[in-house]
Structure 1
């Protein structure tokens, strides 16, 4: 799964890396991005790529209550093409969720040790995501979920699931505006290989979502 991550890059770096022409409205870096918060995503609207904020925790367009979003921060990539909540989104509402590291809690006995995981080159990356628009009466929400898969060899020692990190050369293909059949989108995801990762232990300070400072990413001595 993926329940916390970071985005510390400068806005200019994000715009350059993902080929975005317009400034990001109200961009703010964060050391501790948590479910329910607004997160930076990139979509392709059919004419250009655009970056903006949506809420983390998918609220499907057909949902009766927006509270469902807190149960849908992740989607299993292996079955997303079959599930009512995600099937149609796999066809036409795919997004990049921008990050530069994520946290996972490694269980050892009764303890859980938070780890910060990054690409080995420490560069920006994108999670494969899905988004949707929900509206009831006068309220409108744009929300997203992060697609996950079984952990690779590196991550298995930390957790049995991991977010799907798109290789640089597959990012545009994932959000290309062409419709994909759900199974085709599933096959695209399952064929991806994860770039090399690295990890180190951080303090339990990161456990509280309200904590958002350099202390979240400081290595344990």
Structure 2
């Protein structure tokens, strides 16, 4: 099976930073806990730094250099990141090219690119933005045919799609299925999901704030909220 996306976690100890890196694939980052800042730059000299804290969501522009820093001298910071590295690795088969290409994608990042939370409403529930300070504060739009409310997101023209979903306590989201590579982070509330392959036994997965769920390829899944404010 060709995997379409991968997810990983990062914990930065008090005052720590990751090693600067660069790669030819898109990445979305969600801040689970802590506060800090990220510096982004390219080879032509464009550079910016923006701050983040618990609940933030942002994307790393394609093929920039970047470095995450924990601003606290006491507490750790935890980040969870989703990227489409498997797509590039399956297609290109050359890690030196993926991690060593020096091309600057100025349609994704220049010195004028701001990570200040500005959004452009494109209609059809789609927001274009570079940075969200707190995903739990994003205004959502009701979607009765699926259950609850949601908002589609596009960050720094990334090829990775994202959305937020919320539904009231005691309700659920309509069962659905799709291909592999979807990563669900629970940002608030408690509940459970039913997941099953067509014609096979239904499995129950309980979750609460901070949980991570990845429905397998083409498995049906349905989310049930037993406390207020579920987000996907």
Q: TM-score, length-normalised on structure 1?
A: 0.25
Structure of larger gyration radius? 2
Higher helix share: 1
Q: TM-score, length-normalised on structure 2?
A: 0.24
